[in-house]
Structure 1
């Protein structure tokens, strides 16, 4: 029987996995923030991480998009 393991190297020291589903992983950071990663299988059956993640952090209900050091408020 051939077993396949997909390895997602996304954790940093101090991180904890809160939940994993068939296409998402929720990671709790030491700061208490939670980062949500999505992954999928491409047309060549290779696993891929989505280019964006979702960071749940402390605040007053604002949503910001951060890309390469730039911030855009939504």
Structure 2
């Protein structure tokens, strides 16, 4: 799956969140690990990172839920 922006960490956030929501744990964890290498601040404060691109809280919470299912530890 490719969104055409492989060097921008947002593609990895999208993939990890979607795969996490779909229950594809191994693929989701792989994408999350790759994304955290590109965007380490996602680990320490995911809400701030996500808020920069997703202004609607309901949409941001859905992405965060997918990332948590992929293995991201949330602080909320």
Instruction: Give me the TM-score of the superposition, normalised by structure 1.
Output: 0.24
Q: Which has the higher helix share?
A: 2
Decide which structure has the larger Cα Rg and report it.
Answer: 1
Q: Which has the higher contact order (CA 8 A, sep 6+)?
A: 2
Instruction: Give me the TM-score of the superposition, normalised by structure 2.
Output: 0.24
Q: Which has the higher strand share?
A: 1
